[in-house]
Amino acid sequence: MAALEDGALSHSEPSNCTGGSVYFSAHPVDSLLYQNPDLFHDIYVYKCVTTVVFTTGDRGVGGNFSESLERGLEAAYAHMASVPANETPWAETSLQFSRNSVMLRFLRDVPSIQIVYLRLPDGGSDGTGHESSGGDSLKKLYNNDVKSIDTTDGSTFYTLDSLKDLIAAVLKQRAPLNIRVLDFKRSIPEDDEFDGDHADHAISARLVADVVEQNKIEGEVLGYAGSFMRKLDPTLNDTIPDFAIKSDAFFQYAKHDKHMCQTYDGCINGHPETTSEDAPDDVRYVATWLEREYYVS
Question: What is residue 11's DSSP assignment?
Answer: -
Distance, CA of 87 to CA of 125 (rounded, Å): 34
- Does 15 fall in a domain? no
Pairing state between β 90-97 and 100-107:
antiparallel
| Residue 112: C-alpha distances to residues 37, 61, 107, 144, 181 (Å) | 18, 32, 8, 36, 19
For residue 269, what pLDDT is reported? 83
Indicate the burial class of 67 (C-beta count within 10 angstroms; 0-12, 13-18, 19 or more). Answer: middle
Distance, CA of 255 to CA of 258 (rounded, Å): 7
For residue 291, what pLDDT is reported? 97
Indicate the burial class of 125 (C-beta count within 10 angstroms; 0-12, 13-18, 19 or more). Answer: buried
For residue 271, what pLDDT is reported? 53
- Does 91 fall in a domain? yes
8 A C-beta contact, residue 101 and residue 278: no
Q: In tens digits, what is the pLDDT along the chain, a chain of 297 residues?
A: 343 433 334 335 799 999 999 999 999 999 999 999 999 999 999 999 999 999 999 998 877 899 999 999 999 999 999 998 777 799 999 887 777 889 999 999 999 999 999 999 999 999 999 998 899 999 999 999 999 999 999 999 999 999 999 999 999 999 999 999 999 998 898 888 777 789 999 999 999 999 999 999 999 999 999 988 999 999 999 999 999 999 999 999 999 999 999 999 999 886 555 444 456 666 789 999 999 999 997
For residue 2, what pLDDT is reported? 42
- Does 177 fall in a domain? yes
| Residue 220: C-alpha distances to residues 23, 99, 216 (Å) | 12, 30, 12
Domain extent at residue 238: 21-296
Distance, CA of 58 to CA of 55 (rounded, Å): 8
Structural domains of the chain, count: 1
The residue length of the chain stands at: 297
pTM of the model: 0.92
For residue 96, what pLDDT is reported? 79
CATH number of the domain bearing residue 156: 3.40.50.10320
DSSP string, 90-156: EEEEEEEETTEEEEEEEESSSTTEEEEEEEEPP--TTS---GGGTT--HHHHHTTSSSEEE-TTSS-
- Does 1 fall in a domain? no
8 A C-beta contact, residue 152 and residue 120: yes
